[in-house]
């Protein structure tokens, strides 16, 4: 813990995980678009090809498999995981810089990545899991998104059990039924955490 990590100046890692189609990307976007400049987004690296409309450096850093593995060797990642057959990782640079600047860093990462960050930053992380109202709703959302093949959709659904299990170790579970309510609950959980941390010294 360096001298810059005094109460009030410390940043916070806010991990938001959910099964694919659970709505986390929309929730994160809403918070970032709110105009509150305490929030920043941690742009991950991935070997998954870009979806239509996704931009390199904004949504992800899109890397080749070879480049991603080279970055692992260099120690560039705070955590990385294989998700749905592709590699994804949080760049140390994205979080170190923003933690020092006292920012609230939003991370849209999977449950394994979330639990790794909790181990690495026990006091400066908040793990939020957005649960779908039901598995049927989740499946419907995935199909409506229309960006994934049938095979990809089935692969994502199979992962849900492991995700719900890992969510037991998360700090907060929010059932994502209504977007406005979910955004409000996420913001409340963050404020509660900041307050707790500032009063616990
Ligand atoms: P998608 O391909 O739909 O953008 O993301 C697939 C999954 O990978 C999502 O659950 C997303 O949260 C997760 N993911 C994205 N970036 C990272 C990362 O840097 N680390 C980990 N562990 N998971 C990530």
6: pLDDT confidence band, cut at 50, 70 and 90? Answer: very low
Q: Please report the pLDDT score of residue 201 as a whole number.
A: 60
- What is the per-residue pLDDT for 47? 98
User: Dihedrals φ, ψ of 32, to 5°?
Assistant: -65, -30
At residue 89, the pLDDT reads 98
Q: Report the CATH number of the 12-200 domain.
A: 3.40.50.300
Task: Give the model confidence (pLDDT) of 143-168 as tens digits.
Answer: 887 777 888 888 888 888 899 999 99
Instruction: Note whether 32 and 41 are within 8 A (CB).
Output: yes
**Residue 86 CA: which ligand 1 atom is closest?**
2
CA 17 to ligand 1: nearest atom: 12
Please tell me the distance from the alpha carbon of residue 42 to that of residue 91, in angstroms, as a whole number: 8
**Residue 5 pLDDT:** 42
Rounded to an integer, what distance in angstroms lies between the CA atom of residue 188 and that of residue 177? 17
Instruction: Look over the chain and give the mean of its residue pLDDT values, rounded to a whole number.
Output: 91
Q: Residue 3: pLDDT above 50?
A: no
Q: Say how many Å lie between the CA of residue 120 and the centre of ligand 1.
A: 18
pTM above 0.85, yes or no: yes
pLDDT of residue 136 exceeding 90? no
CA distance 91 to 160: 25
Please list the alpha-helical segments (H only) found in the chain: 24-32, 65-74, 92-100, 111-120, 135-145, 150-158, 160-166, 179-199
Residues with CB under 6 A from ligand 1: 20, 44, 48, 79, 81, 83-84, 88-90, 108-110, 112-113
DSSP for 56-99, please give it.
BTTTEEE--HHHHHHHHHHT-EEEEEEETTEEEEEEHHHHHHHH
pLDDT of 1 over the 80 cut: no
> How many whole angstroms separate alpha carbon 86 and alpha carbon 30?
26
Between residues 124 and 9, the one the model is more confident about: 124
Range from 36-40, 64-68, 95-99, 145-149 carrying the lowest mean pLDDT: 145-149
- Long-range contacts from 92-101, C-beta under 8 angstroms, 24+ separation: 94/42, 94/43, 94/44, 95/13, 95/42, 98/11, 98/40, 98/42, 99/10, 99/11, 99/13, 99/124, 100/4, 100/11, 101/11
Q: What is the pLDDT of residues 104-113, one digit of tens each?
A: 999 999 999 9
For residue 27, the model assigns a pLDDT of 95
């Amino acid at each position: 813990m360096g001298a810059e990590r005094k109460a009030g100046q410390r940043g916070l890692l806010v991990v938001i995980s959910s099964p694919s189609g659970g709505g986390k990307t929309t929730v994160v976007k809403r918070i970032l678009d709110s105009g509150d400049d305490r929030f920043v987004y941690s742009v991950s690296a991935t070997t998954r090809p870009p979806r239509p409309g996704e931009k390199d450096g904004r949504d992800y850093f899109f890397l080749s498999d070879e480049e991603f593995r080279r970055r692992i060797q260099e120690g560039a990642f705070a955590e990385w995981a294989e998700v749905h057959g592709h590699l994804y990782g949080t760049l140390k640079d994205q979080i170190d810089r923003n933690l020092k600047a006292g920012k609230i860093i939003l991370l849209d990462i999977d449950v394994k990545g979330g639990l790794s960050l909790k181990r690495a930053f026990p006091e400066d992380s908040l793990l939020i899991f957005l649960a779908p109202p039901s598995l049927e709703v989740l499946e419907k959302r995935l199909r409506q998104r229309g960006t994934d093949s049938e095979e990809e959709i089935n692969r994502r659904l199979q992962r849900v059990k492991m995700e719900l299990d890992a969510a037991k170790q998360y700090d907060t579970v929010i059932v994502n039924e209504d977007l406005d309510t979910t955004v409000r609950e996420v913001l409340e959980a963050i404020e509660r955490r900041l307050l707790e941390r500032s009063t616990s010294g």
